[in-house]
Structure 1
Amino acid sequence: MDYEDIMDNILVLVDEDGQEYEFEVQAELEIEEETYRVLIPLDEEEDDEDDEVEVIILKVVYDEEGNEFMAEIEDEEEWEMVADAWDELLDSGEI
């Protein structure tokens, strides 16, 4: 996904087909010299029976020209490390 814009904690990502998706940025995590963003999709309808909110965590990456992109975390160990950091942040009450 291509990084397009951050305004007032709203991030618009564009997929390979040019489809735009809006997310609210919940947190930006710096872990082992890498940056990750925790996002909540804005177009998701909330389910009244389930208070859990879908959270998406993406890694900030750069191309050769320095353009910022968001990428899925493919390494399971890296994913667990970032998910644990997010859980700790939630448990601390800072979010």
Structure 2
Amino acid sequence: MDNDVTEITLIDEDGIERKFQVVTKMDIENKEYVVVVPEEAEDSEAIILRIDKDDNDEDVLVSVEDDDEFNMVSEAYETLFSEDDTN
């Protein structure tokens, strides 16, 4: 996924397209992650997705199911944005 992507459209479990604003993209331990927030929702929590490759070497976004992996990315995200707040 390109670093300059600011918006993505995902299809939810009901087949409905939803737009998300990309907050940031991070590389952690040789894996790529993207943090997004729903475009239409106010005060919505950020969602962490891992960028994997499918059989055709295309980017696919996958929910982070592993608690340890989720916590690692959450901590990196919080650290990144707490550093931005102090500048």
TM bin, normalised by shorter chain, reads 0.7 to 0.9
Which residue of the other structure, out of 57, 60, 71, is the alignment partner of 1:69?
A: 60
For structure 2, the 5+ residue unaligned runs are none
If asked which structure has higher relative contact order (CA below 8 Å, sep 6+), I would say: 1
SS in 2 for 1:90: helix
How many corresponding residue pairs? 83
Which residue of the other structure, out of 32, 35, 51, is the alignment partner of 1:35?
A: 32
Shift of 1:67: 1.8
- Residue 23 (structure 1) aligns with: 20
Q: Quick one: distance in 1 between partners of 2:74 and 2:84?
A: 16
Would you tell me which structure has more helix in proportion to its own residues? 2
SS in 1 for 2:65: coil
4+ long deviations beyond 6 Å? none
CA RMSD in angstroms comes to: 2.1
For structure 1, the 5+ residue unaligned runs are 1-6, 47-51
Q: Quick one: distance in 2 between partners of 1:61 and 1:69?
A: 5
Q: Quick one: distance in 2 between partners of 1:63 and 1:55?
A: 24
- Residue 56 (structure 1) aligns with: 47
Q: TM-score, normalised by structure 2?
A: 0.83
Q: Quick one: distance in 1 between partners of 2:5 and 2:32?
A: 19
Deviations for 1:18-52, whole angstroms, at most 9, x for unmatched residues?
Answer: 321100001000000100001010011x2xxxxx5
Shift of 1:14: 1.9
Shift of 1:61: 1.0
